[in-house]
Structure 1
């Protein structure tokens, strides 16, 4: 299996739109309220590219065997490096592989002290996250949506 990390701007917009409108993906993303159309896609890509320009890091597009599988990685959130993985359900099985590549970049290449993950309270299946070493850290609001923040500290 060949996995590539690319810029979101390198991905065909219809592929991103299809992912972001998939009902199983939307169920996990409470901030995604409206239909994700081409205008929303343009805004989304621009905002993610701005993170790279402003902070030197941001989310990637994941390409598996030359197919767009999803997006994620590290992005700044309230002074923290927040880890996100948004995968098409056809690729949910590679999440742990992608996670490990992201964590290696965070702790080894970037030397971060910790990374966070934000889950809406509706995501009650967190045992996998806890097994990875994340600990519940705090509650916070983004817009009108409550999230539970989990933190993983750099073991090095």
Structure 2
């Protein structure tokens, strides 16, 4: 596999069919406790509308991630109260791109004055947390989100240069 060539585009540039197929991959549900039903194009359209509303409200939201121009997954920053939470949902054949995408997103966060820190909510099924800890994220505690328990981590981004 050639080295990653990651770009971020608006999530609305991905077809409903591609997003629906991605979200119906059964391997995703293992780490997404809030993914409780199959998606159809209507579900995908509602999801896209909700994510676009975040862009309109907050000036930032989720992107589609491309690797060499091909859809690899989606994620980005979503405002939760006064905090910016980073999420990442990759296609299974792109799981190995997570660190490269996260590093690029965190570079964006470091350059954005709105984000002195970012948070990550991880389900209990996520056991491999070494990369997150190596980046400097600290465990804050367990939180209830949508009726499910997630481990909350925080990473300071406004590091003096």
TM-score by length of 1: 0.93
Equivalent in the alignment of 1:85: 88
Residues 50-129 of structure 1: pairs in structure 2 closer than 5 A = 50-110=53-113, 112-129=115-132
SS in 2 for 1:98: helix
**1:104-134 Cα deviation digits (max 9, x unpaired):** 1111134521000001122222222111111
Aligned residues: 156
Structure 1 residue 13 displacement after superposition: 1.0
SS in 1 for 2:111: helix
1:147 aligns with 2:130: no
Equivalent in the alignment of 1:46: 49
Structure 1 residue 20 displacement after superposition: 0.8
Equivalent in the alignment of 1:36: 39
Unpaired runs of 5+ residues, structure 2, are: none
SS in 2 for 1:29: coil
Quick one: which of 13, 17, 34 aligns to 2:20? 17
Q: Which runs of 4+ in 1 moved over 4 A?
A: none
How well do the aligned residues superpose, as a CA RMSD in angstroms?
1.4
